[in-house]
Amino acid sequence: MTFGYPAALAAKVSATETPIVVSGAGDPVATGLVEGLARPGGNITGVTELSTELSAKRLEILRDAVPGLSVVAMLWNAADLGMTLRYRAAEDAARVLGIKVQTLGVREPNDFEQAFAEMTRQRPDAILMVSDALTLLNRKRVVEFAAINRLPTIFENSEPVRDGGLMSYGPNQRAIGERVAELVARILSGVRPADLPLELPTRFEFVINLKAAKALSLNLPPALVARADKVIE
């Protein structure tokens, strides 16, 4: 069982006869992990994502939350092909919405300071962080920088929002974990991974931190707050 594209690729290369269940690996067809969603072939199955649709949704939420939004800093792990493809989907969605993108790829923990320095030199209107192991492990640094510099943020899952970030929108991670466990159980009962289509998330959640909004002096539209599945007050 793997999380993230680098782990999935390493498993595919080194464990060619072992069933593999992936999650958080981006689009497995675009990255070449599998032949197709309905018929993955080989020894890999798991849960994939809807990167294009979700990227557009997050940017639309930011636009509704931040008056005059024109530039969004996008922070992602440039060493992870799965996350790079997700970033490109977000960049394409921003172009359609008329939003400029400040590109901030990181490859290791030390790169975050360079990204922060770039945002200090050329201030964006908000930050969108693409979530993988690297960015999630450094999420508190991102949240702290955003708070100090009074920058609205949106994330792909709720952990950074509980740490003080403004908003998140994405698949329910608990539901994904449960579905991955079910796929593992089916494989252990004798089903071949090649016969298990890769699945898309079915449950999503929108989380807002009103404490963070207040600290930013940001008056979120009541209609936007009403849409949230969870509100931190």
Q: What are the tens digits of pLDDT across the range 133-182?
A: 899 999 999 999 999 999 999 999 999 999 999 999 999 989 999 999 99
Nearest alpha carbon to residue 40 among 27, 28, 24, 26: 28
**Running DSSP on this structure, what letter comes out for residue 219?**
-
Instruction: Specify whether 190 is located in the same domain as 160.
Output: no
| Number of Cβ within a 10 Å radius of residue 73 | 23
Given a cut of 90, whether residue 26 has pLDDT beyond it is no
Instruction: Specify whether 166 is located in the same domain as 176.
Output: no
Instruction: Specify whether 39 is located in the same domain as 60.
Output: no
Quickly state the pLDDT bin for 83 (edges 50, 70, 90): confident
Q: d(Cα 102, Cα 122) in Å, to the nearest integer?
A: 9
* Residue 198 burial (C-beta neighbours within 10 Å; 0-12, 13-18, 19+): buried
Quickly state the pLDDT bin for 7 (edges 50, 70, 90): very high
Q: d(Cα 123, Cα 158) in Å, to the nearest integer?
A: 25
pLDDT in tens, 38-77: 888 889 999 987 666 788 899 999 999 999 999 999 999 9
Structural domain span for residue 95 = 51-170+205-232
Q: d(Cα 110, Cα 137) in Å, to the nearest integer?
A: 12
Record the pTM: 0.89
Instruction: Specify whether 125 is located in the same domain as 185.
Output: no
Tally of structural domains, the chain:
2
Instruction: Specify whether 198 is located in the same domain as 211.
Output: no
Instruction: Specify whether 16 is located in the same domain as 57.
Output: no
Instruction: Specify whether 146 is located in the same domain as 122.
Output: yes
Q: Are strands 153-155 and 167-171 parallel, antiparallel or unpaired?
A: parallel
Instruction: Specify whether 90 is located in the same domain as 161.
Output: yes
Task: Report pLDDT for 52.
Answer: 63
Instruction: Specify whether 103 is located in the same domain as 115.
Output: yes
